[in-house]
Structure 1
Amino acid sequence: MRNIAPVVALIFALLWTGSEAAAQRRPDGRIVNGREANEGEFPYQLSLRRLTVHICGASVLDGSWAITAAHCIDGHENQPQEFTLRLGSVKRASGGSLMPVRTIYKHPSYDSRDMNFDVALLRTQPGALTMDPNVSPIGLPESGEPIEENLYAVVSGWGYMSSTESVLSSVLKYTTVQTVNQEKCHNDLRYHGGVTEAMFCASARNTDACQGDSGGPLTAQGRLIGIVSWGVGCADPYYPGVYTRLSHPSIRRWVRLLTKL
């Protein structure tokens, strides 16, 4: 059996406690109480794998570029040969295609202590990600575009299915959440470090993204508005999930500079 200790370390080594924090913020990662996706329903969804083991979600931006959370690759961005992407399948461990990652770019302002600017880009060989007929890219918001309060959005992934069982889902799952007022988001999480303008919150009753979904997509109105980043607990009514804000000007400029998208 393959030793997956390095992968477990990658996911859990990034726990952080702020000076006022009563508990640790942690990389988010499971779809709790979600629904199973049908083949072709999320054609932009990717499984990011390190040493053949699923560690995070990711999304297709075009034929050569994918996007994920920086904490998924932090400390390993100089070893892209360790990473592959499974695409074109709702099954975590089979189907679709496996593509090697050629280059990893972590946002230059990413801070593992507070998860700020939690975004990374993955480059494959040109056109590799759209060779599969079951794959299509997802668009990005414009720079500075606001996220409306109470906007319905969909989050998807293969992460743990409950807060008590550390078992990844074999089939892609998804759920619907609503975006949260930014001031309320910050206040709800103030004892866990709060949120920055490069983050936003979304939540729903009894369902959530919460290890394994990190880096995956949050979409609304046909566009990728967020990346699963961190949280306190899972599907906890007192704590919304936190996502990387892809319309943040620093993030959007950086993505455009590298990908031209």
Structure 2
Amino acid sequence: MYNKLEYLNCMVSLLIQNPKLSLRIRTIHICGASVLNDAWAITAAHCVHDVELKPKMITLRMGSRYRTKGGLIVPVTQIYNHPNYNAETMNFDVALLKVSDRSFRRNDLPVKPIKLPTFSATMSDNMAAIVSGWGHQSSSLHILSAELKYTTVYTVDQTACNKSLSAHGGITNAMFCAAARNTDACQGDSGGPIQRNGTLIGLVSWGIGCADPYYPGVYTRLSYAPIRSWIKLLTKL
């Protein structure tokens, strides 16, 4: 991924409490998330599945391009995994994070909600989109990035992607694929946004390695009606 001075203002770092860490460093980055409005953020369900009933373990760092400093730490008050989420198949890999009202409304921080796609919005093949996060720089270098990075990937034909990943369970209508040469989302980027023209079209979900030429990355399709309607039901967006 590339590192630029500008960064995506919808993006927040999802932190989890780790009792093994010292009191000085109580939380670690596990995933990315995106701000939807003053009180809601969205991420991948696999990021928070194990702590859905323990929202106090999750906080969000907003308004900073740095993973471990700056901005403001916001506590999460409720976690909602999609009711159809399947941890084995990664189907319906989406979760909503509720924070106190107006927690994301800050004039002193560069935080801006991102627009959701319309219901059943179509997605053409080879469409450029931007994916971002603080994840690993490569599948062999297991070090999180200190600064937010982003890169451009391109959507992949659904049938072709399903065939490429057939040995790994394939993909469903709740997913789509994107790829590019020598660049990709990686571990630590999960739950973060993939966006096009300022619209959040998906979330980083799963993949085989990182930037593997044989395996595109897999993303949660937010325009899929059973997902989009659930988001609207909870957030009114």
2:147 corresponding residue in structure 1 = 171
1:49 to 11, 15, 25: 15
1:24 corresponding residue in structure 2 = none
8 Å contact from structure 1 (residues 229, 243) kept in 2? yes
Aligned: 1:117 with 2:84:
no
User: How many residues are aligned here?
Assistant: 227
Aligned: 1:189 with 2:202:
no
Structure 1 residue ranges without an equivalent (≥5): 1-33
Give the residue type in structure 1 aligned to 2:176: F
Distance in 2 (alpha carbons) for counterparts of 1:185 and 1:162: 21
Shift of 1:130: 2.2
RMSD of Structure 2 on Structure 1 (CA): 0.8
Aligned: 1:85 with 2:52:
no
1:30 corresponding residue in structure 2 = none
Which structure is richer in relative contact order (CA contacts within 8 A, separation 6 or more)?
Answer: 1
Give 4+ residue runs of structure 1 displaced > 3 Å after superposition.
Answer: none
Q: Look up the SS of the partner of 1:54 in the other structure.
A: strand
Shift of 1:151: 0.6
1:62 corresponding residue in structure 2 = 37
Structure 2 residue ranges without an equivalent (≥5): 18-26
Shift of 1:226: 0.6
Distance in 1 (alpha carbons) for counterparts of 2:99 and 2:4: 26
Q: Look up the SS of the partner of 2:51 in the other structure.
A: coil
2:214 corresponding residue in structure 1 = 238
Distance in 1 (alpha carbons) for counterparts of 2:193 and 2:4: 14
Shift of 1:133: 3.2
- Using the size of structure 1 for normalisation, the TM-score is 0.86
Give the residue type in structure 2 aligned to 1:121: L
Q: Look up the SS of the partner of 1:67 in the other structure.
A: strand
Distance in 1 (alpha carbons) for counterparts of 2:176 and 2:5: 28
Distance in 2 (alpha carbons) for counterparts of 1:78 and 1:173: 31
Distance in 1 (alpha carbons) for counterparts of 2:4 and 2:131: 11
Distance in 2 (alpha carbons) for counterparts of 1:147 and 1:133: 33
1:35-46 correspondence to structure 2 within 5 Å: 35-39=2-6, 41-46=7-12
Distance in 1 (alpha carbons) for counterparts of 2:149 and 2:116: 22
- Using the size of structure 2 for normalisation, the TM-score is 0.94
Distance in 1 (alpha carbons) for counterparts of 2:115 and 2:37: 9
Shift of 1:101: 0.2
